[in-house]
Structure 1
Amino acid sequence: MKLPDNLVFSIFKEQDARIKKALSEKTLDVATGRKVRALSDEPATTYNVIELKKEIAQLSQHSQNRLFADTNLTYADFTLGKMEDLVKKLYADLLRAKNSATLSEDQLNALAGGFDQTLRHLLDRANERLGQNYLFGGDSLTIKPFDQNTLNYMAGSGDFEVWISENSRVSVLLNGNRVFGTNLYISRLSFNSPTDGFVNPGSITLQVGLNNYTINYGGAGEPQNIQELADYINTNLGDRVRAFVSRNANGTYSLALSTVEINASVSLVGITGDLSSGFENPNIFQAIERIKNKLDGGLHPDEFDLFSLSRSYDILALRRSEIGSSLSTVKNLQPTQENLDLILKKQKSDLEDADLSESMMEYTRYRIAYEALMRLVADQKDLTILKYI
């Protein structure tokens, strides 16, 4: 039984439009590789895709920061390692000089020349740059850390930090004042002899960690000179603080202090009497320069000079261990971030990208359906679709 022309035409128009739309969509799927191409297509899916893109972008930034941190911290560790070697050699040379009381003034001057050359190498290392940024310039980034003449720290007061994950950040460019700072203290007031008596009695109040210690001097029954004061401190606070009488480059003597523990903090919170002019707190480079100046003046090193170099080496080793801990955290984060990146991109692809093999199969199915529609019309009217129209 033949169908009426208007019914055939109506069915044809409806099916033709549906199949052509489906063919067009599958053609775009295959051509673009995307099944979601506009926000209006699937709002819920598009929203999820946008959120995933944000997560991927944030993860990408964290990964870049991690790589930046890895590069800088690795180079900082390498640099401090080279500085350790230089300070260790200085200590060995100074130990030989101290144990050789027969060294002539010329020999001491020659040793001072070696100290000066090594000090310049150390300073160059401390002022090392990676790209445009100074490794030990802290958060100032591009300010040279140490002055070539005064050896004072001139750059940022804090570390430069980057976020390497949503919840953690790491110091990348370090505050050189902390890296190369010491807990060595040398009195500004000096004496011609360690046994010269105090003129004005007073006291020194030290804060070591959370505890305060007050040492009185110059009064009845109290230490009367810096030698007695150093002996008193070593006897009564020797498990926390070490005291020395150290000779200066000009031949005078000063009281020198340091903590027993390398990482213990010490503050001189109150000083009265002769020593009220306070104490110098040299960094590693200034401590080495002080020794160099003594040798250059023909003076033999003393116990505090050896202690200063030993403490400088220990400080560098401690800073390397701190950097190593941060570096370990940074490196351990790499596989986690790489795996998360794969997961997020897979989720985005599942939502956004077309399955090409499935799209090709659908395209073929719609082509067959279209051809079947053409045959149906031809069979009903015994003519081609072109003739029918």
Structure 2
Amino acid sequence: MKVPDNILFSIFQEQDARIRKNLSDKTLEISTGRKYQGISEDPPATYNVLDLKKEIAQLSQYSKNRLFADTSLSYIDLNLGKIEDSLNLLYAKTVQTKNQILQPNQLVAIGELFSSTLRSLLDRANDQLGGNYIFGGASLTQKPFDENTLEYKASKESFKVWLSDNYKVDALLRGDETFGLNVSISNAKFSSPDTNFTTGGTLNIKVGATNISIIYSNTQSLKDLVDFINSNYSNLLSAKVSQNPDGTYSLMLMPVDVSKDISVSDTSGGDFDTGATDFYSPNVLQAVKRIGDKLSGAMYPDDSDLMLLQRAFERISFRRSQVGSLLSQVKNLQPTQESLEDNLNKQKSDIEDADLSQSIMDYTRYKLAYEALMRIIADQKDMSILRYLK
């Protein structure tokens, strides 16, 4: 039976449009490498891709934060290592000086060594990385330590960065914590360690979470009080008579545990009650200056100076170990973040990326189908499709 021309042409138009669309879609797939060209083609898949892109962008920011933390903590660790070396040198020089008979000018020369080392330590304490002070905490651009008083002036909070949705680390440290010493020195000064106190009183001492009350009387001297503390509280405290740069004497107290803080006060009206801050805690820089000032004044260092330098070294080592622990955690995150990023990118690729080999095969199949359609129409009418269309 002969197929009417209008029906044949209608079939041709329908098949021609379908095959042409398939060819166009596959051509676009091959050229862009994507399965879907718009949200309307597959809304759920498009929304999944958008969510994955958001996760990938967030993970990329976490990776940048990790790299920043890795760089800054590595630089901090390097600086603390150099500070340890300097304190070790000063300690060895102080031991040597204490055990030698030296002329005043020789003591002054050693004092100059302390002064030059102090300048180097101050430079490291005020060092910057990328324009940010590494020991300035959250202040970032405020110089941490005053060059004259050596007091800490920057933020009381460390600068933290997020490395995941629920984990953040200190990337720039607080200088007051890093260089702070758990040593207390009395503001009350005495002309001699052997002279009895004028007025007795009570020292209120807190070491970590432990509170101690020590009563002293006007029948005791500074040396007697030191002996009493060392005899009865040696498991918690170490006490020394400390000669000040002006030649007077003060009480120095230090916890046995390098990690525990100490605070001391006297509100009893005794000789240690100065009406303001009864005891102060020097930082590492101020401790070095204190000993250097004594030497520059041609004074010999004493046991309290050795204890002070030893504690300065121990505290810096303690802080450096904390930095090392943080740095290890940060570095261990790298393979985890990289693996997660690969997985997210693969999920995104599986959804939106076309299988090029399959797309090329489909394109070839549609092209052959189109050519076959043309031949069928031509055979049915015994003429070329171009002649038919005319």
> For the superposition of Structure 1 and Structure 2, which TM-score range results when normalised by the shorter chain?
over 0.9
Distance 1:300 1:310 in 2: 17
1:108 matched residue in structure 2? 107
Matched-pair identity in %: 53
- Which position in structure 2 is the counterpart of 1:209? 208
Gaps of 5+ in 2: none
Report deviation, 1:298. 1.0
Is 1:250 the counterpart of 2:249? The answer is no
* Deviation digits for residues 121-160 of structure 1 (CA, Å, limit 9, x no counterpart): 0110111100110110001011011111100001110110
Task: State the Cα distance separating 1:2 from its structure 2 match.
Answer: 3.0
Compute the displacement of 1:8 (Å).
0.6
Deviations 1:40-99 (A, max 9, x none): 110010011011111111110110000000000001000100111011000000000011
Specify the SS of the correspondent of 1:164.
strand
* Equivalent position of 2:140 in the other structure: 141
- Normalised to the residue count of structure 1, the TM-score between the two structures is 0.97
- Work out which of the residue numbers 234, 237, 240 in structure 2 matches 1:241: 237
Aligned equivalents of 1:197 and 1:2: distance in 2? 134
Q: Which residue of 1 aligns with 2:21?
A: 21
**Counterpart Cα distance in 1 of 2:265 and 2:334:** 45
**Aligned counterpart, 1:73:** 73
CA contact 1:207–1:269 (8 Å) conserved in 2: no
Cα distance in 1 for residues equivalent to 2:305 and 2:78: 26
What is aligned with 1:356?
Answer: 356
SS of 1:192's equivalent in the other structure is coil
In the alignment, structure 1 residue 165 sits paired with structure 2 residue 164: yes
Which residue of structure 1 lines up, in the alignment, with residue 303 of structure 2?
A: 303
Computed over aligned residues only, the root mean square deviation of the Cα atoms, in angstroms, reads 1.1
- Specify the alignment match of 2:173 in structure 1: 174
What is the aligned partner in structure 2 of residue 41 from structure 1? 41
1:2·1:380 contact (CA, 8 Å) conserved in 2?
A: no
Cα distance in 1 between the residues matched to 2:105 and 2:262 = 38
CA contact under 8 A between 1:116 and 1:289: conserved in structure 2?
A: yes
For residue 148 of structure 2, give the secondary structure of its aligned residue in structure 1.
Answer: coil
Q: Any conservation in 2 of the 1:112–1:293 contact (CA below 8 Å)?
A: yes
1:274 to 271, 276, 279: 271
Matches of 1:71 and 1:89, distance apart in 2: 28
Unaligned runs of 5+ in 1: none
Does the 8 A contact of 2:19 with 2:369 survive in 1?
A: yes
Q: TM-score, normalised by structure 2?
A: 0.97
Note if contact 2:184-2:264 (Cα within 8 Å) is conserved in structure 1: no
> Shift in Å at residue 236 of structure 1?
1.1
Q: Give the aligned partner of residue 183 of structure 2.
A: 184
**C-alpha displacement at 1:269, in angstroms?**
5.3
Distance 1:37 1:180 in 2: 59
| Contact 2:201–2:266, Cα closer than 8 Å, also in 1 | no
SS across alignment from 2:271: helix
Question: Larger deviation: 265-274 or 131-140?
Answer: 265-274
* Structure 2 partner of 1:377: 377
SS of equivalent residue, structure 2 residue 211:
strand
* Cα distance in 1 for residues equivalent to 2:36 and 2:127: 51
